[in-house]
Amino acid sequence: MKDINNYINSNKDRFINELIDLLKIPSISADKAYAKDVLEAAKAVKKSLDDAGCDNTEICETKGYPVVYGDKIIDPNLPTVLVYGHYDVQPPDPMGLWTSPPFEPVIKKTELHPDGAIFARGACDDKGQFFMHVKAVEYMIQNDELPCNVKFMIEGEEEVGSDSLEDFLMENSEKLKNDIILISDTGMIANDVPSITTGLRGLSYVEVEVTGANRDLHSGIYGGAAPNPINILAKMIAQLHDEDNHITIPGFYDKVQVIPDDERAEMAKAPFDLEAYKKSLDIGDVHGEKGYSTPERFGIRPTLDVNGIWGGYTGEGAKTVIASKAYAKISMRLVPDQDWHEITDLFTKYFESLAPKSAKVKVTPHHGGQAYVTPIDSDGYQAASKAMETTFGKTPVPQRTGGSIPIVALFENVFDSKTILLGFGLDSDAIHSPNEHFGVWNFLKGIETIPYFYKYYTEMKA
Ligand code: BES
Ligand code: MN
Ligand code: MN
């Protein structure tokens, strides 16, 4: 890997400009109005794989948005790394809170990114992160440093639940066959505290609808006598947690893996500054399940959160009305061995049981996925750890994270391969929020680190 740093130094402006061009495309998968842009992003990704020197690049149709494929097979007897990422992004709203437009990338310095960070929707989640792999592979191909085979699979529906991906994997399992899956779509603890994600939570996402009367009513004429679905919904939601913030759904915790005390003690060694956490969020105190630390609350415990709630009059001024309907979107983050289909059923039954006779309730499941935990004694983890140690000068800390990438559990079923979650973002990079950004230092550090993963992994497999 002799001249990786030279290569980065002499090409970094181009790398950043290429990423900026990709970030200008508003590939918002959740909003049909941007369908053309999502497809344009797929084309741009294909071109970037071509330019990097990949073979067999292809925009693969699915039932939904396409998957972009490309590979470089140097010897079928050598190991194969499958790189996964996603070129779709979250909607940018609320627009008013962005300090610069979400699809007009600019580089600005921040306290944690003194070398500058690229501000744009998708900068960190996930365009900036999968693009590190494209550039790292470009370096390896152009400099004869690619020690094994590589395949890319960059999808366009991750942010809306990867609906078409299961079928795509089944239909293309031969083509995508691999020994290890490498993903940069998570974060690390800090630029001077490298970490590797060893766990992702599962997810069950549902929408609920509570109906009272058959039409909106005058809140004076009917108020106090007719059911108010918003009041009822609020009360039903309030009953989903008890005093200690445990979730009250019967059976919800039945399959949760109990983590032994010695393992919890080991996890507690990962650096975490509670005061800095509170300060960064500007909150008086943290809030969560009794008996667990903050990192445990977001890392190893399941949760239930309302993500949105609406109904009635929310326009300017006041309107006296009792709405006919009230709605909420609810996510449950799950841990091994909770099954998301089973949890969705348990939620539905319990939520329906909470409804008074005066109201009707409808629960509609959206999407979900299983949790994932990866061991740290695998070749893949060890290679990733050694790679980070080489470029950061420190052994990375294994850390479970609260987010979800539902496809990862599926990968293990289909390919029997482990997934290595080698992320270079920071929690404070504001993914899914206004002013998402990705540190220029992090972007370049990722490009520098990834080739070492290939080197060490291939050596370990030899
Ligand atoms: N990249 C994130 C997941 C993530 C971020 C995991 C940071 C760990 C740390 C991914 O794009 C994402 O947002 N996933 C969704 C789930 C999906 C089904 C919409 C999530 O976690 O909400
Ligand atoms: Mn992502
Ligand atoms: Mn995301």
Q: What is the pLDDT of residues 332-364, one digit of tens each?
A: 999 999 999 999 999 999 999 999 999 999 999
Strands (E), 96-233: 106-108, 117-119, 149-155, 180-183, 195-200, 202-211, 217-218
CA of 404 to the centre of ligand 1 (A): 5
pTM of the model: 0.94
Report how far residue 454's alpha carbon sits from residue 462's, in angstroms, rounded to the nearest whole number. Answer: 12
Q: Does residue 194's CB lie within 6 angstroms of at least one atom of ligand 1?
A: no
- Segment 423-441 mean pLDDT: 97
Q: What is the pLDDT of residues 46-75, one digit of tens each?
A: 999 999 999 999 999 999 999 999 999 999
| Token pair listed for 384 | 């990733």
Under a CB-based contact definition with an 8 Å cutoff, are residues 409 and 83 in contact? no
Provide the greatest CA pair distance for the chain. Answer: 80
Residue 1 has pLDDT above 80, yes or no: no
Banded pLDDT at 267 (limits 50, 70, 90): confident
Under a CB-based contact definition with an 8 Å cutoff, are residues 407 and 85 in contact? no
Element spanning 449, H or E: helix 440-461
Q: How many C-beta neighbours within 10 Å does residue 181 have? A: 23
Give the torsion through C-alpha atoms of 422, 424, 425, 426, to 10 deg: 100
Q: Does residue 187's CB lie within 6 angstroms of at least one atom of ligand 1?
A: yes
Determine the residue of 162, 164, 330, 431 to mutate for testing ligand 1's pocket, defined as the one with the most ligand atoms within 8 A of the Cβ atom: 431
CA of 196 to the centre of ligand 3 (A): 18
Report how far residue 303's alpha carbon sits from residue 249's, in angstroms, rounded to the nearest whole number. Answer: 11
β-strands 397-400, 80-86 pairing: unpaired
Give the torsion through C-alpha atoms of 193, 436, 332, 31, to 10 deg: -150
Determine the residue of 125, 300, 333, 426 to mutate for testing ligand 1's pocket, defined as the one with the most ligand atoms within 8 A of the Cβ atom: 125
Report how far residue 432's alpha carbon sits from residue 437's, in angstroms, rounded to the nearest whole number. Answer: 10
Task: Compute CA distances 410 → 166, 167, 185, 415, 418, whole Å.
Answer: 7, 11, 16, 8, 11
Q: Does residue 157's CB lie within 6 angstroms of at least one atom of ligand 1?
A: no
Q: Does residue 158's CB lie within 6 angstroms of at least one atom of ligand 1?
A: yes
β-strands 80-86, 149-155 pairing: parallel
DSSP 315: S
Q: What is the pLDDT of residues 218-256, one digit of tens each?
A: 999 999 999 999 999 999 999 999 999 999 999 999 999
CA of 420 to the centre of ligand 2 (A): 14
pLDDT for 266: 86
Report how far residue 82's alpha carbon sits from residue 177's, in angstroms, rounded to the nearest whole number. Answer: 8
Report how far residue 232's alpha carbon sits from residue 249's, in angstroms, rounded to the nearest whole number. Answer: 18
| Token pair listed for 256 | 């949760």
Q: Does residue 153's CB lie within 6 angstroms of at least one atom of ligand 1?
A: no
- Segment 279-285 mean pLDDT: 95
- Atom 9 of ligand 1 has which residue's CA nearest to it? 186
* Nearest listed ligand to the Cα of residue 429: 1
End-to-end CA distance of the chain: 18
Banded pLDDT at 399 (limits 50, 70, 90): very high
- Segment 278-305 mean pLDDT: 96
The number of the ligand 1 atom at minimal distance from the alpha carbon of 125 is 1
CA of 200 to the centre of ligand 3 (A): 13
- Atom 16 of ligand 1 has which residue's CA nearest to it? 404
pLDDT for 417: 95
CA of 265 to the centre of ligand 2 (A): 29
Backbone phi, then psi, for 313, in 5-degree steps? -95, 120
Residue 10 has pLDDT above 80, yes or no: yes
- Atom 15 of ligand 1 has which residue's CA nearest to it? 404
pLDDT for 252: 98
- Atom 13 of ligand 1 has which residue's CA nearest to it? 159
CA of 118 to the centre of ligand 3 (A): 17
- Atom 18 of ligand 1 has which residue's CA nearest to it? 161
The number of the ligand 1 atom at minimal distance from the alpha carbon of 425 is 7
Question: What's CA 29's distance to the chain center, in Å?
Answer: 14
